[in-house]
Every structure is written in C-alpha cells, then in structure tokens.
Structure 1
Amino acid sequence: MTRRSLYRMIAVFLLTASGFGMAAHARAEPTSAVVLMYHRFGETEYPSTSVDMDQFLAHVEELTNGGYEVLPLPEIVAALNTGTPLPDRAVAITVDDAYASVYEKAWPVLKEKGLPFTLFVATDPVDRGIEGYMTWDNIRELSDAGVTIGSQAVTHPHMPRMSSERNRTELTRSADILQEHLGARPTLFAYPYGEASLDVMGLAKEAGYVAGFGQHSGTANTTSALFYLPRFPINVHYGGVDRFKRLVNTMALPVSGLTPRDPLLPVQGTGNPPAFGFTVDGVTEGLDGLNCYHSDASSITQMEKLGNRVEVRFDSAFAPGRTRINCTMPTRNGRWRWFGMQYYVPPQ
C-alpha cells in the first residue's frame, strides 16, 4: 500500500473524529505540515490579497524542485488528527474566495505541474454571478479534476459578530449549496478573514465539518487546534521567493496550555489585553532564541520564560479588528519553528 493510499483510508475514518480543541497525539517531533493561503493571482489592483504571477511561478518551481511533498489538504488533516507521520516538508496549497484569476491563471499552472490544492468557496458571490468570481461551471471543472472544494460560508461574514443562528445558517446552507452543485458535501471550512471564536468552532463541528482554518501564520501540527489550524498568507508584499523558501521550510513549535484559547476577545475590560501564554512541548533546545511579535499598536511589556512556559504581557488593550501574534525560534539546521495566533476584537 502506498503512503498516499494510507492517507486516503485515514481520511475516510476522519468523519467520525471528534473534538475542536487541541488535536491528540503530540510527540517530540509532531506530525506537521505547512499550509499556504492564496487569494488572487496577477490582480495588481489588489496587492494585499494578490500575488504576482512571476512570484507564483517561482513558488511553484520551488515546490516542484525543492524537496517538498505537496499533499491534498484532507490527507494532511487526517494525519494531524490521528498522529500519522507525514513526510518532512509536507505542504498544502489553499486558495480562498474563488476569484476568477484562480481559474484563469493559477489553475492551468497547478494542473500542468500536478499540484493538488483546496479551493474555499463563499457561495453567494458565485450564485449572484458577481464579476471577478468563478462560475459554478468553473468550480465544477476543478472539482471533477480532483481539486478539494471547501466552504467559506455563504456571504463571507465576520462570524464572531454574528448570532449563533446566523452562523449555523452560514455553515449549513453553504454546505447544502456546494453539495447541490458538486455532488459532495464539504468537510473543510475556512473562517472568513480568519476570524473565529470557540462558539463558531463548535458550530462548524456541529455542522459536519472535520477541520477549520484561520489566517494566522504557523506550522500546523498535532498540537494545533483542529478547528483553528494555521495557514501562511501569501501576497505581493510577502511573496518574494526567499521569504517563501523560509516559510515552506518552517517546523512545528508544538504547544499546550494556550491562553487565551478563544480567538474572540472582549472590547475592553478583563481579557483585553490578553494574558497570552503557552507551554512548549517536546522541544528544549533553542528556547533561549524564542521571541514573540504582534501586529497591534500596543507594545509587549514583558516576555517571561519559566522553563518551557512562555508568558507575554501587553501595555494596553488590543484595538478593534484582528491582531496576530507570531512566536518563532531558530534551529541548528537553519530552519525556524513557528507558532502563531490571531485574536479578534469586535467593533465598539
């Protein structure tokens, strides 16, 4: 039996898996994979969500000739859930929002190179035939060719701001629509804008999904929250091939005891700024080189390491919107370990 056949068998059983907290089976060097996130291709008017085609072609060249194994995302999710070993430098490609440039520019390249990828679809823009988005015929062609199709809700809302009833409808209705058009129900979900909460994660599991993905950086591994898995965002500003090589060579920074676990923070009061902390599992060498950074206007006032426990404190509340925290440490072999989180504060 080939390794890929084994992964596919595991993926079938994944539908019976449970839990939306930390995935099980952490090990000294856990099963891990880098998951990449793209949106648009060659759309120069959207630099924050698009990648230049020259950049993308360089990425594909690196992935096909640099000693990586690009695997279908369901196989990686199955391995993370069960602790089944993945090859070193396992990579998955994901694309959000189903823009037309995916079909017109990226798909021919990926098809020619035989690289699997996952497309996350918000169904409403496709249903409405909005200019700049793929059509159902386009998406059906990709699905028939073996591309994994996941959901990104119906209307691409800010889910932590919505009611549970609204979110439940977004999750189930989008799956119904995808099944209607493609003949298969999606099992993977990408939170719009990467915004989630423990409540939203629970609703995603309740709706029949087996994993959920954010937009925070980091290497997905067996200690990652299965319903809030990280992905490295790629765009024109951060799409240079040298940086790309660093990202696809990152290793897991396995953690436990994350606080706060809920990506949704209050606007003010207790819990904002968060008392951010985690314990590094199974890795002792190089902890002196671990550093954390964040994207908010507030400052890190204290970062304390008590053995393998890391505690970070901030001088003021996080502003409304998204704040990303990245913690990295170098290894002896020149690669980096990376753990990240995204927290969301709703508008006042």
Structure 2
Amino acid sequence: MLRNFILASLLMVAKFVNAAVILQYHNVSTTTPAVTSVTPEQFAEHMEYLADNKFSVIPLSELVSAIKNKQILPDKTVAITFDDGYRNIYENAHPILQKMGFPYAMFIAIEPIERKFAKMMSWEQIITITNEGGAEIMNHSYSHDHLIRLNEGETKKQWLERIRKNIVDTEKKIAEKTGDNFKILAYPYGEYNHDITTLITELGYAAVGQQSGAAGVYSELTALPRFPIAGAYASLKQLKTKLNSLNMPIVKQVPLEPQITAAQHRPVLKLTLEMTDIRASQMMCYISRQGAKKPTWLSDNELEISADKDLSAGRSRYNCTVPSKTKNGYYWFSHTWIKPKANGEWLAE
C-alpha cells in the first residue's frame, strides 16, 4: 500500500515537472525591426546563460514526442525555434548554436525562398545547416499565409481544401530538399481556429503558436505555447523569468477557439485547473492593452476572466500566471483572441 501511495505521489509530481519552455526567435540582427529582433550579442548572452546554468536544450521534435507520449521531461528543458528562415539566422545565430552544441528548429515558408528574397536563406544554406547537424526544418505554410482567412467568394469547403494543400505541399517540399518530415507546423502570425486544429489533427501534425507559456502534458498538441523573444521582451532578466515558467495545469478550457466575431467584444474564458500545486489567491491575469485583472473564481478549481473594455480588432491575449507551492516559478498560460473589424474585414498586416 505504501509503495502504491509513493508511486502515485511521484506520478502526480511528475505532471508538474513535465514541462518545457519553447523559445521563439525571428531575427538575430542589429539592422532588422526591433519588434522581431534580438542582437547577436543578446542571442549569444541567452545561449551562454542556458549553457552555464545547465539547461537541457533538446530538439523540438523530441519535445513534441515526449508531450504526445506523456513522457517525463528532464528538468529545465528548453527547445529553441526560429520563424521564417531569415538569412541572419544562418549568419549570426547558427554559428553560436553550433559552438554550444544546441539543436534548434527553423520554420520556413516556401514561396519567399523560391522567389529568392534577399533577406531569406537560400535552399543551399538551409541544406548546409541541416547537414552540419542540429537544425530541424519545419513547416510555416507555403507563403506565410493568414491561414484563418477565406479568399473572396471562397466557400468553407474550398478554404479548408486550400489550407490542406498548402500545409501538405510545404511539408512535401521540405522533405524533398532536406529529408526532414517532422509534421510540426508553426502558425503564421500565431493565428489558427478550431477548423484548422481539426485539420491538423487529421493530418497527424502537431503545431506551435505565438502565445506565451510553458509547454507540457496540459497543453494542446495543436497549439503548443512559445515565448516570443524580441524587442522589449529580449532582456536576460525577462528570459530568466520565462525559463522558470511552468505548464499551467488546465484540465478544461472553454472556449478553445481563438477566433471571435466582430460582435464579441469582451469574450469570457473559463479554465478548470488541477489545484494541487497552485496558490490560487495569487492568480493574476493580464488583458492586452488593458492591464492586470484578478480572475473570478466560480468554484474551488474553476475560474473565468474577461476584458473590462472592448477588445480591439486584430490579435489580443489573456495571460494568466500563478505561483507554484513547491517549485521556484510561475504557472503561465496565454490565450489568443483574433477579431475582425466591425465590417468583417481583417486588419492589413
């Protein structure tokens, strides 16, 4: 009996440590927009911190497989990712990662590479970094599209078929050029909806977004969180906070759907949590462009959060954090809302 109790306790504890932080970078350069960039010096500082503090940096494919199979991850597990495949990653980031021996994933869109945009890597450079080891090349859609948007006059069925072809054709091209076939998608702009996650599941893919939080057994495999690292969020101090984050133990979320209508001004998010390791009284949430707000507890383990002011068109987020009772860090969760303008059109980006 005692052995069974100890085993059950260890399994419960394992759920709370079975988490990892996925870092998302775009540019490593001093000449690109600050909002999507870290400098080479900042990037080197980040990687040195991971090495000096003995973080377990693993391939993203390995991390996704561990979450999928509910395997216990090493403590202080990190995966490094880059979106878009900019040439400065080849020039400035790859040498640092090679020196450190850190694996990483790079999500690429095919069209910018095939059109030989000057700021993008070439296929030759992409093949070089895969041959040198450490780089996993993954799917970022064919043309870096807003996947949730229907073309004018397009039916829902036509849209879904177009998105299916988009993703499958991208994966096929990556496999043809590099031999990689990981079936992991990064949503361009972090945008997805229920129809797309259903399609992703049918295709046998996992996917990552751009919402903050630690990834783990409580995460949706079709919307794994990542911490964007750039601009105002690129300091080593902020990185340390993110690296200590924990996978929010959500057992039910309503809604899962990020896409809302123009008439949904203050959407309500309800979360049901596993409360064993949570200091509930210290839960705090943050609304994009509105600031901090305490959630409303509906029961001992269920809360809801909504905006006090109407959400703007475009992308907004509800972020919630709460300290752990047993670990040095905060459970961290973010949900994205994607809203059209009042006339139903999308913001130009």
TM range (shorter): 0.7 to 0.9
Give, in angstroms, the shift of residue 43 of structure 1.
3.5
In structure 2, the residue matched to 1:92 is 79
Are residues 1:161 and 2:155 paired? no
Pick from 317, 324, 341 the counterpart of residue 335 of structure 2: 341
1:271-313, Cα deviation, whole Å (9 max, x unpaired): x422111012143441111111021459969633521211112
Report the counterpart of residue 48 of structure 2 in structure 1: 61
2:288 is matched by which residue type in structure 1? S
Give 1:56 deviation, angstroms.
0.8
Identify which of 253, 260, 281 aligns with 1:258. Answer: 253
Q: Which amino acid aligns with 2:173?
A: I
What is the DSSP-based 3-state SS (H/G/I as helix, E as strand, rest coil) of the residue aligned with 1:160? coil
Higher relative CO (Cα under 8 Å, sequence separation at least 6) belongs to: 1
* Cα root mean square deviation, aligned: 2.1
Name 1:150's counterpart in structure 2: 138
Q: Does 1:322 align with 2:315?
A: yes
Which residue of structure 1 aligns with residue 193 of structure 2?
197
Deviations 1:143-199 (A, max 9, x none): 222411110001111111132122112111111211221123341100001001111
CA contact (8 A) 1:219 1:251 kept: yes
Higher-Rg member (1/2):
2
- Amino acid in the other structure paired with 1:42: S
2:154 is matched with none
**Corresponding position of 1:16:** none
1:182 correspondence with 2:178: yes
For 1:17-63, what per-residue CA distance to the aligned partner results, in whole angstroms no more than 9, with x for missing partners? Answer: xxxxxxxx996525210000000001433101010122111101111
1:157 partner SS: coil
Post-superposition CA distance 1:211-259 (Å, at most 9, x none): 1000000000111110000000000211111111111111121102211
Gaps of 5+ in 2: 1-11, 151-158, 345-349
CA distance in 2, matches of 1:299, 1:243: 18
Asked if the contact 1:30/1:222 (under 8 Å) is kept, the reply is no
What is the match of residue 8 of structure 1?
none
Aligned-partner SS, 1:166: helix
Contact 1:120 1:152 in 2 (8 A): yes
Q: Specify the alignment match of 2:100 in structure 1.
A: 113
Pick aligned residue for 1:241 from 229, 236, 252: 236
Aligned residue number for residue 10 of structure 1: none
1:131 & 1:102 partners in 2: Cα distance? 13
Q: 3-state DSSP class of the match of 1:79? A: helix
42, 48, 60: which one aligns with 1:73 = 60
Pairs aligned (count): 321
1:281-320 paired onto structure 2 within 5 Å: 281-296=274-289, 303-304=296-297, 306-320=299-313
Query: Of the candidates 39, 46, 51, which is equivalent to residue 26 of structure 2?
Result: 39
Identity of counterpart residues, as a percentage? 32
Instruction: Kindly provide the CA deviation profile for residues 83-124 of structure 1, in whole angstroms up to 9, marking residues without a partner as x.
Output: 110011100000000000000000000011100000000111
In structure 1, the gaps of 5 or more residues are 1-24
Whichever residue aligns with residue 286 of structure 1, its letter is R
State the partner residue of 1:230: 225
The residue identity in structure 1 corresponding to 2:243 is: V
Q: Which amino acid aligns with 1:189?
A: L
Matches of 2:291 and 2:104 in 1, distance apart? Answer: 37
Q: Distance in 2 between matches of 1:170 and 1:85?
A: 34
Of residues 153-162 and 214-223 in structure 1, the stretch that sits farther from structure 2 once superposed is 153-162
Are 2:269 and 1:276 equivalent residues in the alignment? yes
> In structure 2, how many angstroms separate the alpha carbons of the residues matched to 1:302 and 1:85?
31
| TM-score, normalised relative to structure 1 | 0.87
Asked whether the equivalents of residues 56 and 74 of structure 2 are also in contact (C-alpha less than 8 Å), the reply is: yes
1:302 and 1:67 map into 2 onto residues whose CA distance is 36
